Amino acid sequence: MAAKIKRRNPIVSHIRLLIESTKLNLYSAMEYKFNFIMYALGMFINDIFWLALWFILFTRFENLNGWVFKDILLLYSVLTVSFGIVFSLFGSGKLDYYLTLPKNVLFHSSLKMSYSAVGDLLFGLALAPFAIGISDIPLYLYFLITGGILFFSITLIFNSLSFFIGSSERLGGIAFESILSLASYPLSVYGGITKFILLTLLPAGLISGIPVQVIRRFDLTWFLLTGAIAIVFLTVAILIFYKGLKRYESGNLLYAKD
Amino acid sequence: MKIRKYSAISKIEFKQGFQYFFDFLLSAFFIVVILFVFSNLWRTIYGTKATIDGFSIGMMIWYLAFTEAVTMGMGWRSLFETVSDEVKNGTVSNYLTKPLSYVGWHMSKGFSKFVITFVTVLFISSVLCLLLVGPISFSYFQIIPLIIITLMTFILSFFIGMSLSLLAFWLEDVTALYWILQKGLFILGGMLIPLDVYPAAISKYLTYLPFAFIVYGPGKYFVTGDISVFTHTLIGQIFWVSICAGIMILIYKLAIGRLNIHGG
């Protein structure tokens, strides 16, 4: 009599959830087509402006401690594609709704699409053919994954601060923007202690600068270190999230999922 | 009764002041990062050069400190968000029944924010500039002209920001327009890098666009004290303020014409 409960592998079921959620997000984007196009196109144009600034600078100065304009193209491609992938798939949702559901609460509550991130993603992909050759693709993909993990982890750490200090949205936003800004400039302009910090505590250099250097001239140490540090950041971020979740007290918030 | 009423308003203002203060501190943190990045970038570019296009490295960093303070003070993001929200949730109609102008209300609020943010950010970034590159020459005679063109900067930036924010009556969400406008200011207005450094073929046109009169002109006058820069900037500002005011009034009239209010 008892119905057979079919148990799926949890990893497979979460991947299915990701696919279904992305589909739903895309349907929703198509429902609000004008808004979706405006956000994505707006961000695409926004990114073109940044590139224009670098074009102007390199027209005048040609070389920044060994970096040329093609390196900037690669830097922006890695930066915007890894950012675009992460925030096209993940974003912060309302926690209460997901606490009672059977899927992993962190994973489930993070499934939200940012329309503007799609613009970043398209911009970075459009840039890639001008920045890398076919033989660079495996390394490029590897650094998209490490960059994506770092972006996700940093966002999770800043968002989890809310568990400990109350509303941290603005603080987290400024800190995230600062890391994004630091990652948007050639690593060659930083030196000494700053460079050390950007490659460890605030890993802006690992998101974009190191990928450019390793893709241009392979370095096994930095290749492995980037992956290792990304995993360390992800582990720490998850630990902080669950530590914070234990402290979480809800005000019996009742709402319909948007 | 009157005393209670005014003390309540004072309390609200006081609390808002504290709220802004936290925002200032956060903005200050961001400007520290930007100035730090650019001081590294310019050090790399300058190498052993003493000046580039008439700018010493100190002038470059102080220029950025000034233009950042102006940009943060303008508060375009907040203006776009507020107008967009007020159009979406209909609260814009609340202003229309009161004896005050919707545009005037936002301009008055924006002006207070501009003054507070501009002064605070400029003070904090000045301390950082002194630490990073030391002082630059600045005459007390520059103060009055600088105040004049900085105030004109606010008026011009407000008219441009409000004109585009009012497009929310047609588009509802104008966030994407804000991004483009802001980057337009950064790149076309020479906020991050003075237009003098751009290739001459481009910069000779950019210096006449309204963006240049918001950041480049006042910023250059701040670091050079050149009276010809002041007059060029002021004339350009007066010209673009007249044009943008006309555009803003036209958009406002068209926007209000689209508004349907269903009692309540």
Question: Which of A40, A33, A165, A196 has the alpha carbon at shortest distance from B180?
Answer: A40
* CA–CA separation, A141 and B109 (whole Å): 48
Which DSSP state fits A7?
P
Burial of A33 (0-12, 13-18, 19+ CB in 10 A): exposed
Share of residues in chain B with pLDDT > 70 (%) = 89
Mutate to test the interface with B, among A56, A161, A179, A187 (most CBs of B within 10 A): A56
Question: Which of A191, A226, A121 has the alpha carbon at shortest distance from B41?
Answer: A191
Share of residues in chain A with pLDDT > 70 (%) = 82
- Per the CB < 8 A criterion, the answer to whether B255 and B166 are in contact is yes
Record: contact B175-A46, CB cut-off 8 A:
no
Record: contact B179-A191, CB cut-off 8 A:
no
- Per the CB < 8 A criterion, the answer to whether B177 and B249 are in contact is no
* CA–CA separation, A35 and A41 (whole Å): 10
Contact status of B231 with chain A (Cβ, < 8 Å): no
Burial of B38 (0-12, 13-18, 19+ CB in 10 A): buried
Which DSSP state fits A205?
I
* CA–CA separation, A159 and B38 (whole Å): 28
Segments making up each domain of chain A, as ranges: 12-257
If you measure CA to CA, which chain A residue comes closest to B37?
Answer: A182
Mutate to test the interface with B, among A33, A47, A167, A189 (most CBs of B within 10 A): A189
* CA–CA separation, B250 and B260 (whole Å): 18
* CA–CA separation, A12 and B14 (whole Å): 55
pTM: 0.84
If you measure CA to CA, which chain A residue comes closest to B195?
Answer: A56
- The neighbouring-strand residues paired with A111 are A90
- Widest Cα–Cα separation across chain A: 79
* CA–CA separation, A156 and B84 (whole Å): 29
* CA–CA separation, A47 and B183 (whole Å): 9
Contact status of B198 with chain A (Cβ, < 8 Å): yes
* CA–CA separation, A78 and A141 (whole Å): 9
pLDDT at position A229: 95
Instruction: Give me A92's structure tokens.
Output: 């912060």
Q: What's the pLDDT tens digit per position in A92-123?
A: 656 666 666 666 666 666 666 677 888 999 99
For helices A69-89 and A33-61, what crossing angle results, to 10°? Answer: 160
Share of residues in chain B with pLDDT > 90 (%) = 48
Name which of A104-108, A194-198, A200-204, B208-212 the model is least confident about: A104-108
Question: Which of A160, A146, A139 has the alpha carbon at shortest distance from A229?
Answer: A146
Per-residue pLDDT at A11 exceeds 80: no
The B residues from 28 to 67 touching A (CB cutoff 8 Å) are: 29-30, 33-34, 36-37, 40-41, 43-45
Record: contact B187-A52, CB cut-off 8 A:
yes
- Chain A residues within 8 Å of chain B (Cβ atoms): 34-35, 38-39, 41-43, 45-46, 49-50, 52-53, 56-57, 59-61, 64-65, 116, 170-171, 174-175, 177-178, 181-182, 185, 188-191, 194
- Per the CB < 8 A criterion, the answer to whether A64 and A186 are in contact is yes
For helices B57-74 and B143-165, what crossing angle results, to 10°? Answer: 50
Task: Give B264's pLDDT tier (boundaries 50, 70, 90).
Answer: very low
Mutate to test the interface with A, among B187, B191, B215 (most CBs of A within 10 A): B187
* CA–CA separation, B162 and B156 (whole Å): 10
Residue B109 CA neighbour count, 13 Å, CB half: 17
Instruction: Give me A106's structure tokens.
Output: 């962190």
Mutate to test the interface with A, among B41, B43, B67 (most CBs of A within 10 A): B41
Residue A185, min C-alpha distance to chain B (Å): 8
Q: What's the pLDDT tens digit per position in A143-196?
A: 999 999 999 899 888 888 877 776 666 777 788 888 888 899 998 888 888 888
pLDDT at position A1: 47
Residues of B in contact with A170 (CB under 8 A): 22-23, 26
Residue A108 CA neighbour count, 13 Å, CB half: 15
Give the SS3 label for residue A111.
Answer: strand
